[in-house]
Structures are given as C-alpha cells and as structure tokens.
Amino acid sequence: MATDLPSCMINGAVCGGSTIGSCNGPLGFIMKKRPNIVLINADDLGWGDLGCTGHPLHKTPHLDRLAAEGLRFTSFYQGSPVCSPSRGAMLTGCYPPRIGFDSFEGRGVLFPGQGVGLDPREETLASALKKVGYATMHVGKWHCGDQPEFLPTRHGFDHYYGLPYSNDMGRQGGRDTYPPLPLLSDEEVIEQQPDQTGLTARYVQKSIEFIRANQRRPFFLYLAHMHVHLPHYVAKRFELESKNGAYGAAVACIDWSTGVIMAELKRLGLDENTIVIFTSDNGSRCDFGKSNGHLRGTKNTCWEGGMRVPLIVRWPGKVPAGRVSDAIVTGMDLMPTLAAIAGTRPNGKRRIDGMDLSRLVLGKTRTSARDTYFYYRVSGLYGVRKGKWKRVVASNSYVGGGSFEKGLDLLFDLDADPGETTNVAGAHPRIVRKLDALLEQCRKDLGDSIAGVVGQGRRPIGWVPWPKPLTEFDANHPYYMAMYDLGDAG
Ligand code: MG
C-alpha cells in the first residue's frame, strides 16, 4: 500500500463525495473529511530565492515558516526548464513529450492564439480530485493553451481567474506583436491589459473567496503566480522594502500572498486539514542575482539551476515538520501523490510517468521510490540523473548568449558537486555506460530530437483547426494600460 490511507478507500470502496471512509475508528467506521489542497506555483522562482534556501537579500518569513512547519525538498525537479511544459507535466503527471507538450508548433512554450494546447483527454490533478467531490479552482497563470478547448475549465477546474499565459505576452513597450493581455474569469475575457501591479492582490482575493465559499467541502486551489516572471510590476510597498530591486519585491509579494492565505486557513479553522504545497515552474534567469543558489545554469537550461526548484509541503500532524529531504521528487509525481493523499488515484486510462510518493511526503519513509529523472528541454533529451549521478550529453545556455552543444561526455556526482563543476566521466566508465543505457531506453519511449529519435510512447498535443486570439487590439479602446511601459520579457 502506497499511502497511510485506509485500504477500504484505496481499494475503491464506496467512499465518493467529500468524505473518506475509515475502518480504523473505535466505532468501526468513521467518516473523515478529505484534506483540502492548496498548490502554489511561482513563475521562474529559483532554488535559492527564498530566505530558507539561503538568499542573502530576500526576506520570505511566511514561506520560511511554511518550510519550518513542513517538509522542504532540496532535489525537486520540474518536468521542464520553461513554463508551458513544466505546468502541463505537473498537472498531468507526465513528462512533457508523453503528452506532446515538449514543442508547440516548433516553439518552446505556448503563445497567444495558438491552435495547440493540453489535450482535454489527458487527466489532470483537478479532474481526478473533482471526481471525488472536490471543489476546484485555478487562479493565475495557466499557460497550457488559450483556446476554449484547452482552458482550465475544460481540465477539471470548476472556475478560473487569471492570465492564460505569461505576463510578457501582451502589448508591451517596443514589442507590441501580441494582442492585448487578457484577464479571464472562467472562459470570459473580463479585462484587457490589466494593471499588473495589483494583479497578485486580486489573485489573493479570488483565492480567499473560493476558500470561504467551499470551507465545508474539500477543495483544491491551484494558485499560479505571475511573479517573478518578467516584466516586474509590483506594488510600491514591496519595492520600498526590497533590498534586491523589483525582483526582490516580486519575491516578497509571493511571500506576502502566502501569508494571507495561511492566515485565512487558520481563521476558518481549515489549517489542520489543508495540505499546502509551494513550488516554482522552473529556475530563475539569474540576471538579478544568483537566485538559483549554488546550482549551475538558468531557466531554459538543463543544468540543475534550470530544473531544480523549491518544494515545500505542509500539513500539520501529517507531514513531518521542520524536515529537509534530499530525496528525488519530480513535478510529475505531484499528481499521483496528491491524488493518493486525497483518497483517489489517476484513472489509469493513459500512461503517466509520475509516482505516488505519498509515503515519503507523509514521513512513512525517508527514501524516495524514485531514483531516476530525465532532463528534457523542448524535445531534446539532455541527460539523466540516477541516485547521485548525473549524466549530461547536451547543454545550452539561456542568458548570456551561450551556445547549444551536443555529444557531451559529462558525469557529475551531485552529492559531492551539486554545482556541476567537475566532470568525473573518465573515472566511472561503468556508471556512464549504465546511464547511457537508461538514456537509450528513454529515447525509444519519449523521443529525442537531438538524436533524431521519435518516441513510441508519445501522445499528440491537443489541436483545434481554427484558432484565434482571445483579444484583438482596438485603437479606439480606452485600455487601462494601452501599452505596458516596461520592455523586459522572458
Ligand atoms: Mg516559468
């Protein structure tokens, strides 16, 4: 049994709805409320951006408290070093190529008005939870497709409020190639070119409204922040307090919003029965200070700094408090793990890559059932980690104009050398051969554009024939901000 939940429920007994049956109670059978789940996903926040991960300039008291009261993982990897594939992977429990989410008509992420997106036939965490009675809402950045067929409301979320893609994909200084940035409520555009400075506060407001409205039934809130993706529009109070410019202010805004949500959960008496997860979709760009900590590389690279991000899990009395774990966990594991904790499981209709690591999360073991992770960027297989060993066969550099290289022969001992500074391939030929065999197996399954291999286990991306952008620029429209003045993007 992979969880500590009662076997009657795991084995599919009639326990649907908002409670789960337990055969362990003194009265023979008691009903327990399924835990609420709050999944907070920051954008481009690096491994080292938090106070509890050692950033010298960022104060993150609320996130630090979350870590002190919960379990912080230091070897947590998202499925991709960029937004769309990482988010699709986390929600479905699949490596991006498995669901065709590695390349979007030749581009690395989704852009406004594209006719591709997350196939509605894929099961998401929200879909799985909805089936067992959860109220579900997504607030914030979606980035898994902006056509109606691909929106959160078609993927198990009862409601949606947020930007359907990145905050640099609107009309922005000097690069007005995109339609006006849409703010959506469910499937309706309710505002164009919203004031980004106050958007996080509106996200918090919507999150709290949802929590209050569903306090008597289990709920799943997926809050995906706009911050710290460029451009940085942040409320003045955070800028004034920041010791690291607008970037530090954006980090502080995420921290503040977490504090507000935690305070509300406590106020409503939901704190004890709510599992809160905090993470980021990919590593930092690192051009605002070394926010990937001691890790090498940036967003959009397969070095550790691109893919290894913070993961904090808090659930009082259930998840060990104050523990730090270096066990390997991936974004793909969150879907089956949280489903198991909620008393359900993926429907099994389509193969997934995520593993149920609920025993690890709930402190039943300190060892992860996962010891292998494959590093994908777009459709290329860049490397593999097994245990402490990381094999790198390709690399690229995102910030600074570095180039792509393939045919690399690198091996790193991540326990001794997490910064990937010393190639020890020559000293460990057997390990290299073993990891190369794993890469070859993965190529056959999920493909590798670098080697020219098409994976046999891929499924196609969702597709619609006549896509159109959610908004169109109208020169006569009195937009609140007709053009964002900051030119930063990426
Ligand atoms: Mg991102």
Say if residues 390 and 400 touch (Cβ distance below 8 Å): no
pLDDT given for residue 371 in this prediction: 98
Closest-CA residue to 261 (of 307, 311, 316, 223): 223
The answer to whether residue 185 sits within a structural domain is yes
pLDDT given for residue 12 in this prediction: 34
Question: Do residue 65 and residue 206 come from a single domain?
Answer: yes
The answer to whether residue 154 sits within a structural domain is yes
Distance 84 CA to ligand 1 centre (A): 8
Question: Whole-prediction pTM value?
Answer: 0.94
Distance 195 CA to ligand 1 centre (A): 20
Residue 336, phi then psi, degrees to nearest 5? -65, -30
- Show the tokens assigned to 480: 């609140």
Q: What b/e readout covers 14-27, taking b as 16+ CB neighbours within 10 angstroms?
A: ebeebbbbbeeeee
- The residues carrying an active-site annotation are 83, 143
Distance 301 CA to ligand 1 centre (A): 12
Distance 179 CA to ligand 1 centre (A): 20
Task: Give the integer Cα–Cα distance in Å for 266 and 189.
Answer: 33
Question: Do residue 444 and residue 313 come from a single domain?
Answer: no
The answer to whether residue 490 sits within a structural domain is no
Distance 280 CA to ligand 1 centre (A): 7
Place of tokens 């408290």: 65
Last residue of a domain, one of 371, 406, 430: 371
Question: Do residue 25 and residue 105 come from a single domain?
Answer: no
Q: Which domain covers residue 26, as residue numbers?
A: 1-33
pLDDT given for residue 17 in this prediction: 57
The answer to whether residue 273 sits within a structural domain is yes
Distance 161 CA to ligand 1 centre (A): 18
Last residue of a domain, one of 333, 348, 371: 371
pLDDT given for residue 173 in this prediction: 85
pLDDT given for residue 3 in this prediction: 40
The answer to whether residue 471 sits within a structural domain is no
Strand partners for 183:
191
- Here the CATH number for the domain that contains residue 404 is 3.30.1120.10
The answer to whether residue 442 sits within a structural domain is yes
Question: Do residue 309 and residue 184 come from a single domain?
Answer: yes
Q: Could you give the 3-state DSSP secondary structure of residue 18?
A: coil
- Show the tokens assigned to 121: 């036939």
Q: Which residues contact 12 (CB under 8 A, 6 or more apart)?
A: none
Question: Do residue 123 and residue 17 come from a single domain?
Answer: no
pLDDT given for residue 10 in this prediction: 34
Closest-CA residue to 81 (of 309, 352, 270, 418): 309
Distance 83 CA to ligand 1 centre (A): 4
Distance 282 CA to ligand 1 centre (A): 5
Closest-CA residue to 230 (of 45, 472, 469, 482): 45
Counting every residue written for the chain, the total comes to: 490
pLDDT given for residue 145 in this prediction: 98
pLDDT given for residue 27 in this prediction: 40
CA atoms within 13 A on the CB side of 261: 34
Which residue type occupies 465?
P
Question: Do residue 388 and residue 239 come from a single domain?
Answer: no
Question: Do residue 344 and residue 382 come from a single domain?
Answer: no
Q: Which residues contact 11 (CB under 8 A, 6 or more apart)?
A: none
Question: Do residue 192 and residue 260 come from a single domain?
Answer: yes
> What's the number of domains the chain is made of?
3
Place of tokens 């939940």: 5
- Show the tokens assigned to 72: 């912080």
Handedness of CA 10, 96, 84, 115 (dihedral sign): negative
Residues within 5 Å of ion ligand 1, judged at the Cβ atom: 43-44, 83, 281-282
Question: Do residue 458 and residue 411 come from a single domain?
Answer: yes
Angle at 87 between CA 156 and CA 292, to 5 degrees: 150
Tens of pLDDT, residue by residue, the chain (490 residues) = 334 343 333 333 334 456 665 444 444 344 568 999 999 999 999 999 999 999 999 999 999 999 999 999 999 999 999 999 999 999 999 999 999 999 999 999 999 999 999 999 999 999 999 999 999 999 999 999 999 999 999 999 999 999 999 999 999 987 768 999 999 999 999 999 999 999 999 999 999 999 999 999 999 999 999 999 999 999 999 999 999 999 999 999 999 999 999 999 999 999 999 999 999 999 999 887 779 999 999 999 999 999 999 999 999 999 999 999 999 999 999 999 999 999 999 999 999 999 999 999 999 999 999 999 999 999 999 999 999 999 999 999 876 556 899 999 999 999 999 999 999 999 999 999 999 999 999 999 999 999 999 999 999 999 999 999 999 999 999 998 889 989 888 8
Distance 158 CA to ligand 1 centre (A): 24
Distance 63 CA to ligand 1 centre (A): 19
Task: Give the integer Cα–Cα distance in Å for 173 and 477.
Answer: 18
The answer to whether residue 472 sits within a structural domain is no
pLDDT given for residue 126 in this prediction: 98
Question: Do residue 327 and residue 452 come from a single domain?
Answer: no
Question: Do residue 356 and residue 380 come from a single domain?
Answer: no
- Here the CATH number for the domain that contains residue 355 is 3.40.720.10
Q: In this structure, how many other beta carbons lie within 10 angstroms of the beta carbon of residue 56?
A: 10
The answer to whether residue 482 sits within a structural domain is no
Q: In this structure, how many other beta carbons lie within 10 angstroms of the beta carbon of residue 273?
A: 17
Could you check whether the bond before residue 85 is cis, i.e. omega within 30 degrees of 0?
no
pLDDT given for residue 107 in this prediction: 95
Question: Do residue 246 and residue 377 come from a single domain?
Answer: no
Task: Give the integer Cα–Cα distance in Å for 221 and 202.
Answer: 15
Distance 274 CA to ligand 1 centre (A): 26
